[in-house]
Structure 1
């Protein structure tokens, strides 16, 4: 990825924009959810990090990583954690409502349409095309989330990431078993790096 394609990230919390209001949280997550057919992650990162600058890329990655260990869908967890961080429980509820409410209404309406026209061949081909676009968006989000690792030249981070990908994606090992091994290793590597640089 060429350097000019990676937006400059704020280097400290002082460079963030003002904390979002409850209404801003609801509207931001509603916009993400309505934009994110096939996955909201790419739109969430773009809005939180690039547009509003409510978090740095590192903070977003760390928060999203935490959300993997909470029960429930990752992006839903992200909305609750993110909203609560800025506006407490009310902010978490507002972000969650923005993420879930509008798509729920839209999908309910689409389900009624699909029940009548789901066997139309043109519609089925269109849905197949949408799924390909969703995969492209997910790959794009992964590449952008790797940007902090690229900037830090974190070789050990890449090794751990690649090992987890191979274990889950190629060898089809169970996710809990892989995490039980990978998480302690990641924590130990990070702790050793902090001790080495301090």
Structure 2
């Protein structure tokens, strides 16, 4: 944990923080997670958030769920991991069950379909804004800013244009990123 970073005072505070986080996100909670955990609560630095997010993305399952488990564990061990997970899932589950009960009638309405499309655009914008906000953290990355941006651009091209399966993009470009970072760390250690 970084110097000066605060920690949640209790499991209850951890639960409510992740409940708030889960209720603010619609299809993209990572932007909200960065704002809450780094800027508002100051439980992590930007660099720590980027490192935790990178690990969360490699693990199976939703990124924000993995992130909640790691952060809960970081502060309170296994109990914290379960409490943070409960915070992420409790209220959204109730909302989804309630919406599912109403879905048959309201999803056929063009206004509802349009609202959902609009929320998708907002979610994409939030993810882009978070990426731009976290960009300075790449300067301290062992990979370096320029190689990281190049790998990100290659990933976008591979997925969006070439339509490569995600597993091959992660294995290929992720492996390349790890190799380049290990090489740079080895060069720094040799100096």
Q: Distance in 2 between the 1:163 and 1:118 partners? A: 37
RMSD: 1.9
Aligned to 1:154: 145
Q: C-alpha displacement at 1:173, in angstroms? A: 1.0
Seen in structure 2, the aligned counterparts of structure 1 residues 151 and 196 have a Cα distance that, compared at 3 Å, is: closer
- Given the alignment of the two structures, is residue 55 of structure 1 paired with residue 60 of structure 2, yes or no? no
State how 1:54-73 maps to structure 2 within 5 Å: 54-73=43-62
Q: Distance in 2 between the 1:43 and 1:177 partners? A: 29
Of 121, 124, 133, 2:113 maps to 124
Q: Secondary structure at the match of 1:182?
A: helix
State how 1:95-134 maps to structure 2 within 5 Å: 95-134=84-123
Q: Distance in 2 between the 1:197 and 1:56 partners? A: 24
Q: C-alpha displacement at 1:48, in angstroms? A: 0.9
Q: Distance in 2 between the 1:16 and 1:166 partners? A: 37
Of 39, 60, 74, 2:28 maps to 39
Seen in structure 2, the aligned counterparts of structure 1 residues 125 and 178 have a Cα distance that, compared at 3 Å, is: closer
State how 1:75-94 maps to structure 2 within 5 Å: 75-94=64-83
Q: Secondary structure at the match of 1:68?
A: helix
Seen in structure 2, the aligned counterparts of structure 1 residues 140 and 58 have a Cα distance that, compared at 3 Å, is: same
Aligned to 2:188: 197
Aligned length: 187
Q: C-alpha displacement at 1:191, in angstroms? A: 2.1
Q: C-alpha displacement at 1:151, in angstroms? A: 7.3
1:18-45 deviations in whole A, cap 9, x for unaligned? 3452111111110011010122111111
TM-score by length of 1: 0.85
